[in-house]
Chains A and B, each alone.
Chain A
Amino acid sequence: MKNFEVWSKRNRRVITEFIASELVYDFVSERLDHERRTAMVEAVEKYPSLSVQIDSVLFGLEYTRQLQKTEVSKKFLAELEDSSNYLKVFRRQLRINDWSPAFRVGLEVFSVITAVGLISFFTPWNYVISRLNWDQNKNVTISEIAKRPTEAVEDTLAVAPNEDKPLFEDEKTVVAADSAKKPKDEESPKQSQPTPTQTVAASAEVAPSAVPPVPPVSPPKTETTTAEATNASKTEKPAPATTGFIYRGKIKVSNIEATSPKIKDRIEELGGRKAGEVELGWQKGEGNYFHFTMPEKSYPELIKLLEDYSGKKVNISKDKHQRVMPDGIIRLILEVEPVKDAQSSP
């Protein structure tokens, strides 16, 4: 109040027309203090132009109050709400609904074809096919595992007495390596197994009569084998963890009675030896069964021979097998069957 007294000579707050004009909005909206309001009332009485301004402001306030009631369509508000979603904006700008149905269908077909083409182009088909083949091989191997144990045991039993003469020197080396792989077994008396040399010697002593006429084992060779076995046991190198393979094939020939002995002779000429219990060319059903080992270098000649007899290309599959063959030696199972047409003809 003291400050106010300083400003006013008569202790009254007098305002000019200019000041009053600037205070019209605050006066109308009732934001002035009491004294200023009183001064404004006096100013309005004094200056008629102020009342016009007050009317204008009042009209303006009323007019804007009416404008607040403006309605906005719900559709547009929804459009505004979706405008922040870029996917919807993109679709709206594309105006897909306005496109002709034929064009839309064509575009869809083109998109599908393009997608399929790209997928087929970038798919590693070799890998997929190899995976499929692997699965097939796996199935075959499983069936072989179920079959092999008896054959393997019989194989061992049958071959052991006959092995007074080794089939292949390399094969023996592998067996020695196998025995060297298990030194603990040799230490225990119950579980100890004879070394290859012992096996050969024992078989020579115990069952010489059971073996068909086979040339006797020459001493130098035995020594060599013993030496090799000793070296193997000394070095005690672990045998490589490998998986063996077996070749399987089946051919059909027209005149099996004449052809089968020829095949047998030829296999023996190529260095083939029977593997397993049965003789080469064993009668199996209507056909013949050849289970043998032979040098790998003779394999192409054998294939050529079989193709000559069968008259077409021979399919030989190479499957995994638990028995590991020495380097350069392969194991084969060949089945020779008669051609049905030839068989039915008189």
Chain B
Amino acid sequence: MDEKDLHAIALFFYYAFLNDWMARLACLEAVKLAERRVKTAEPSSKETQIARVCYEVFEIYKKKQRHLSPKDHQQAEMIWKSPEELPLAPWRDLLKKGADEEVACLILAHIVNFSENSVAEALGLTVGSLRYRLGRALKLLGAGHLTNFKETTV
């Protein structure tokens, strides 16, 4: 696995949880798992394997989330650095309101930038189903922004 793959995994878990500590743990586990899967799989399906591993680990940590989150944990260093002046409020809204699978699809397809075919195959969906989920997630993401925009303008 090269740096690009590691970067993709790191991005996925950061935006899946928006929690540095959780994202770090999930990343470490996902990389170990992905390393094994990628070794045995064909090179062409590398993206699919990584996407599948990310989604599996995401589901596991989503279930553990309440038990794992430490209250007083402080990250020693900043691992992820979002673009400056980009508010994360819309994304937080999406994480609250959106379905986990829709969020995962959106991250993989539009933030990590994997191809739709790879993501659909990894998640066991048709491309049409994937687009439907992406549409819903994007509407939800934009809706929060527009609501905030309206509130501020009024």
The CA of A145 and the CA of B63, in the complex, are separated in Å by: 86
Count of B interface residues, CB-CB < 8 Å: 42
A residues contacting the other copy or chain, number (CB 8 A): 33
5 A-B residue pairings within 8 Å (CB atoms):
A57-B135, A66-B86, A70-B15, A72-B11, A77-B10
Most buried by A among B132, B137, B142: B142
Q: Out of B6, B86, B135, B146, name the residue touching A55 (CB < 8 Å).
A: B146
Contact B143 A56 (CB under 8 A): yes
Question: B46 in the interface, Cβ–Cβ < 8 Å?
Answer: no
Query: Are B83's CB and A80's CB within 8 A?
Result: no
Interface class of chain A by DSSP: helix
> How many Å from the CB of A191 to the closest CB on chain B?
77
Residues of B within 8 A of A332 (CB): none
**Option from B35, B78, B90, B143 in Cβ contact (under 8 Å) with A73:** B78
Stretch at the interface among A18-26, A147-155, A242-250: A18-26
A80 x B139 contact (CB < 8 A): no
Residues 121-154 of B, flagged 1 when their CB comes within 8 A of A and 0 if not, give 0000000000110110111111101100000000
* Chain B residues at the A interface, C-beta cutoff of 8 Å: 1, 3, 6-7, 9-11, 14-15, 24, 27-28, 31-32, 35, 77-83, 86, 90-91, 106, 110-111, 113, 131-132, 134-135, 137-143, 145-146
Q: Considering only CB atoms, which chain A residue lies closest to B36 in the complex?
A: A84
User: Which parts of A6-34 form the interface with B (CB within 8 Å)?
Assistant: 22, 24-26, 31
Residue ID in chain A nearest B15 by CB atoms: A67
> B24 to chain A: which residues have CB within 8 Å?
76
- Is the beta-carbon distance between B110 and A72 smaller than 8 angstroms? no
Bound Cα distance from A39 to B84, whole angstroms: 40
B24 to chain A: closest residue by CB = A76
Cα-based distance from A24 to B81 in the complex (angstroms):
32
Nearest residue in A to B85 (C-beta to C-beta)?
A66
Cβ contact within 8 Å between A80 and B31: yes
* Cross-interface CB contact of A70 among B27, B80, B137, cutoff 8 Å: B80
Contact A24 B139 (CB under 8 A): yes
Of A25, A56, A58, which one neighbours B131 at CB under 8 angstroms? A25
**Complex interface residues of chain A between 31 and 87 (CB less than 8 A to chain B):** 31, 52-53, 55-61, 63-73, 75-77, 79-81, 83-84
Please, how many angstroms separate the alpha-carbon atoms of A68 and B135 in the complex? 18
Given A63-B141, A70-B14, A80-B6, output 18 extra A-B contacts at Cβ < 8 Å. A25-B131, A26-B135, A56-B145, A59-B141, A59-B142, A60-B137, A63-B86, A64-B141, A67-B82, A67-B111, A68-B11, A71-B80, A72-B10, A77-B3, A77-B7, A79-B28, A81-B1, A83-B31
Tell me the nearest residue of chain B to A79, going by C-beta. B28
Closest to A67 in B: B111
A15 to B145, alpha carbons, bound, how many Å? 28
Chain B residues with CB below 8 A from A77, complex form: 3, 6-7, 10
Q: Given the complex, which residues of B lie within 8 Å of A57, measured CB to CB?
A: 135, 138-139, 142
Q: Which residues of chain A are within 8 angstroms of B138 by Cβ–Cβ distance? A: 25, 56-57, 60-61, 64
Residues B83 and A66 in contact, CB atoms below 8 Å apart? yes
**Given known A52-B146, A57-B135, contact A70–B31 (CB-CB < 8 A):** no
Bound-state CA distance A125–B53 (Å) is: 56
| Cβ A25 vs Cβ B10 within 8 A | no
- Min distance, Cβ B144 to any Cβ of chain A, angstroms: 9
Report A-chain residues with C-beta under 8 Å of the C-beta of B113: 68
Are B10 and A80 closer than 8 Å at their CB atoms? yes
A56 to B91, CA, bound (A): 13
Within 8 A of B (CB), among A145-193: none
Q: B11 to chain A: which residues have CB within 8 Å?
A: 68, 70, 72
Q: Is B135 in contact with A24, judged by CB distance below 8 angstroms?
A: yes
Which parts of A87-115 form the interface with B (CB within 8 Å)?
A: none
| Chain A residue nearest to B141 in the complex (CB) | A60
A73 shortest CB reach to chain B, Å: 5
- Docked-complex contact B7 and A72, CB < 8 angstroms: yes
Closest partner residue, chain A, to B94 (CB atom): A60
